[in-house]
Amino acid sequence: MTEYAETEDPHTSVASEPEELVKPIEEEGPSEDPSTGEAPDVEAGAGEVEEVEGLRSVEAVAAETAPDTSGLEDIGVASFGPTAEAILGRDDRIQIHNTSAYPWRVHSSLLITAADGSLWIGTGWFISPRTLITAGHCVFIKNSGVPGRDGWVRSIRVMPGRNGSTLPYGSATSTAFRSVTGWTSSGNHNYDYGAIILPTNLGSTVGWFGFGVYSDSQLVGSTVNISGYPGDKPAGTQWYHSNRVTAVTATKVYYVIDTMGGQSGSAVYQIRDGGRYAVAVHAYGGATANHGTRINREVFDNLSTWKA
Amino acid sequence: MREVIHGVVRDEDGRRVEAARVFFASGPVPLPDVAALTAADGTFQLTAPVPGRYSLMCVLDDGRSETRSIEVIRGGGALVEFEMPADR
């Protein structure tokens, strides 16, 4: 018979996720308001989605993507399949052509130079005159396995409202970044978010998004929007899609919105009373839903601190 | 244990292509939505978080694209070559 030491209780509960990651967020928290910027040409927000020609309604997309559970496989395949695909069903992304207008000019194409000189593309969005938010892995590379690549990136060229080869607001290059130890030390996907601090007040011209902490009940089933710079489309073009939030955890928001490589860092945002408010930072393409880092109270506080 | 995928992009004449966009289209786990740009010698390195089957997509500025399915082996990474089709 196995004997246990006094300190080794065989009934000690263990969890796959730390308590703070599964605790529901039941109350709405603080929020920061958006700004449309000094440049003209502002598209007022109305309803839950942007008014973009050709956009399929959320209901139409939801009806076509309703899951058929009849063929579910054993949970054992969860670790190795079905494959994680960033385009979920039909590709419903719509190209944005008037990127010089608000809100589209808030979204910025990023050209990232990593520590080893390798080049990458991503997306960021303004929260203040000099600060953009993006994914943590856009500003700090973790566990790449490539010599000299890990750590803070060397620089990021920020191109707000880029439309192909056209840069309606020029560009600014940053060498100042922010993130959190959950990402930089641990490489934990639950803390994959960061910021870019610009040397110029480009955000004063293009405007910025608000952001806030919202409860689980406010998010699940709600409509969110993503616009960014995917690598599978013509270089430097901005593409938009919207759909519902399918699930949340304390640190992640899941949605059936099509994304591809290059859209990491995009704002996952809602339109509330005509204003755009981010609720998450897009980071990963997944099997049945893509997901981003949720703006919970801790993330909100850091974003607020990083505003410049 | 993360594995490195080493690759190169060539055009229809076998010349190496700089600034081609390469990224994961699918894989066995959620993957970061960044895209690499090939270096001046046409090479790139992507990091696969776990061994398994991945689909990589390569897109050129003129719109040509190719997709490759690869098996990333534990401790061995993977090698992939994109040979872009001729422009139509």
Neighbouring C-beta atoms of residue B59, cutoff 10 Å: 27
In a domain, A19, yes or no: no
Q: How far apart are CA A29 and CA A46, in angstroms?
A: 23
In a domain, A96, yes or no: yes
Give the domain extent around B45.
3-80
- Min Cα distance B16 → chain A (Å) is 16
CATH number assigned to the domain comprising residue B13: 2.60.40.1120
In a domain, B18, yes or no: yes
Q: Which pLDDT score, from 0 to 100, does residue A26 have?
A: 81
In a domain, B86, yes or no: no
In a domain, A93, yes or no: yes
Between chain A and chain B, how many beta carbons pairs sit less than 8 Å apart?
129
Predicted model pTM:
0.88
In a domain, A233, yes or no: yes
In a domain, B42, yes or no: yes
In a domain, B85, yes or no: no
How many structural domains is chain B composed of?
A: 1
ipTM: 0.95
Catalytic residues of A: 137, 264
Tens digit of each residue's pLDDT (9 = 90 or more) over A14-42: 555 555 666 788 888 899 999 999 999 88
Q: Which pLDDT score, from 0 to 100, does residue A82 have?
A: 39
Residue A153 binned pLDDT confidence (cut-offs 50, 70, 90): very high
- Average pLDDT of chain A is 86
In a domain, B40, yes or no: yes
In a domain, A34, yes or no: no
In a domain, A222, yes or no: yes
For A65, A260, A266, the CA distances from A134, given in Å and listed in that order, are 28, 15, 6
CA angle A61, A62, A65 (to 5 degrees): 85
CB contact under 8 A, B23 and A261: yes
Give the domain extent around A194.
58-63+84-306
Q: Which pLDDT score, from 0 to 100, does residue A79 have?
A: 29
3-state secondary structure B31-53: EECCEEECCCCCEEEEEECCCEE
- B2: nearest CB among A79, A145, A235: A145
Task: Give yes or no for A179 touching B (CB within 8 A).
Answer: no
How many structural domains is chain A composed of?
A: 1
Tens digit of each residue's pLDDT (9 = 90 or more) over A218-261: 999 999 999 999 999 999 999 999 999 999 999 999 999 989 99
pLDDT over threshold 50, residue A7: yes
Tens digit of each residue's pLDDT (9 = 90 or more) over A123-141: 999 999 999 999 999 999 9
Give contacts of B21 with chain A, Cβ < 8 Å. 121, 231-232, 235, 261-262
Collapse the DSSP code of B2 into the 3-class scheme (helix H, G, I; strand E, B; otherwise coil) and give the result. Answer: coil
Q: Are A183 and A190 in contact (CB under 8 A)?
A: no
CATH number assigned to the domain comprising residue A159: 2.40.10.10
In a domain, A41, yes or no: no
